Amino acid sequence: MSIGVVASQAIMFVISPILTRIYSPKDFGLFGIFTSISSVLCVLANGRYQVPIVLPKKDREAVNVFALSILFTLGLSLLLVAIIFFFNQAITSLFHTEELSKWLYFIPLTVLLNGLYEPVFAWAVRKKRYGTLSWTRVTQSVSSSLYQVVAGLLKAGGSGLILGRIVGDSMRAIYAWGHLIRNDRKRRIFFDFKAIKFSAIKYRDFLRFEATLSVIKTFTSEMPVFFLMSLFSPSVTGFYLLSVRVISGPFSILQLSMNQVFYKEMTDRFHLKQDFYPFVKKTYLNLLKIAIIPHIVLLFLAPLLFKIVFGANWINSGHMTQLMIPTLLLSFLNSPMTVLSQILNKQKTLLCFELIQLALVSSLMAGSAFWFHNELITIAAMSFGMTSYHLFLMGYLIHISKNVDHEDVYKH
């Protein structure tokens, strides 16, 4: 599965210098707001009912949870069609981009495609078909990138990027369902509407709490795009999107492997009732050694590097990257450590922290935009808020790693 993630991220990173030469910052901005809205809604696509597909001992129950997640997707997609039909103009006006209007109708399709894929993904995890999971990601990345390049060469504008995303999601879903049908076509599967209703009640906390946390986390990560689009212009949003795309891509590959190793080590230490802090400290220091030099290079040379690699039109992305270096570095350091909240039953505390970050950063961005109306000052304000949050989060994670009460966690 991690091979697929690495390959898909590598493809996205390699293709970026091509895309920046055939699409404008405005095109990327339109693509960014479409992707951000879709990302927040896709988290809700299955009501998080796809998560417990791996939990039941018997396939009969898991199949009904699978069906429940599909039914939730269909219902949500139809609801979104109605909402967009009635509120299209209001949403378009919010982001001051008339061209967004027609693309809003494609958001329910994107939610549907993701909602059809996620239960199959969970079923493949249940059956340990990790090769399938890897290839679905590669299929998505290759098909999406090829379409975007061809459409860009044909001067399709922002529609080429958006349709490329939809093509990638479609190919991923088709590939995943093809493998599901081939592997399970001989399996006797029975859907029971009473069992589906029972599953909805049994796993309702995934809808009430898991979905809430996931939406808040996703909205927080996408919030800068919403603010920049509504307060400035699609071009400014495009500059920001490229900056995040380029910097987060390579480091997300490393984060994936580090998260898996850290989670396994922390889980083992928890079961053996060993101290957490020594390994937490060691991990922080190792991550800092890995990340410090690339971040220092970007701090001083990002505008020049962006000009050389992505073209002269994208120097502004380099300036934004410079301003975001502190929060990007701290976010990378904290990424694997957040699993401590799951192991130590601190999810509610982390949810409160996410809400505080959301309020802090949104206030700083809105205030700076109102007083200065300068995109770089607004990005600097955002970076200050996120950096402050990550410093606080780092202190909290170190604190709980030093004060683990195994017996108290077991009680809860």
Boundary-marking domain end, from 164, 196, 224: 224
Band of residue 384 on the pLDDT scale cut at 50, 70, 90: very high
> For the chain, first and last CA: distance in Å?
32
Q: Taking residues 27-54, report their average pLDDT.
A: 94
303 and 186 share a domain? Answer: no
Q: Which of 287, 295, 219, 217 is nearest to 259 (CA)?
A: 287
The number of folded domains in the chain is 2
276 and 398 share a domain? Answer: yes
pLDDT tens digits, 200-235: 999 988 888 888 888 988 998 899 999 999 999 999
What is the DSSP annotation of 68-118? Answer: HHHHHHHHHHHHHHHHHHHHHHHHHHHTT-TTHHHHHTTHHHHHHHHHHHH
Highest mean pLDDT among 77-81, 185-189, 216-220: 77-81
Q: Amino acid identity, residue 408?
A: D
Contact criterion met (CB below 8 Å) for 259 and 335: yes
275 and 367 share a domain? Answer: yes
pLDDT tens digits, 234-259: 999 999 999 988 887 667 666 666 76
Contact criterion met (CB below 8 Å) for 141 and 12: yes
Supply the pLDDT for residue 262: 77
Boundary-marking domain end, from 203, 224, 245: 224
386 and 239 share a domain? Answer: yes
Contact criterion met (CB below 8 Å) for 289 and 281: no
Band of residue 184 on the pLDDT scale cut at 50, 70, 90: confident
Q: Which domain holds residue 146?
A: 2-224
Instruction: Identify the H or E element spanning 409.
Output: helix 406-411
218 and 252 share a domain? Answer: no
Q: Which of 264, 327, 282, 325 is nearest to 300 (CA)?
A: 325
131 and 19 share a domain? Answer: yes
For 275, list phi and psi in degrees, rounded to 5: -70, 140
3-state secondary structure of 374: coil
Q: Taking residues 68-82, report their average pLDDT.
A: 97
What is the DSSP annotation of 12-55? Answer: HHHHHHHHHHHS-HHHHHHHHHHHHHHHHHHTTTTTTTTGGGG-
Boundary-marking domain end, from 224, 243, 277: 224
Report yes or no on whether pTM surpasses 0.75. yes
355 and 306 share a domain? Answer: yes
Mapping DSSP onto H, E and C, the string for 173-238 reads HHHHHHHHHHHHCCCCCCCCHHHHHHHHHHCHHHHHHHHHHHHHHHHHHHHHHHHHHHHCCHHHHH
184 and 297 share a domain? Answer: no
6 and 33 share a domain? Answer: yes
214 and 355 share a domain? Answer: no
Q: Taking residues 42-50, report their average pLDDT.
A: 93
313 and 275 share a domain? Answer: yes
71 and 23 share a domain? Answer: yes
pLDDT tens digits, 5-26: 677 777 888 899 999 999 999 9
Instruction: Identify the H or E element spanning 253.
Output: helix 234-271
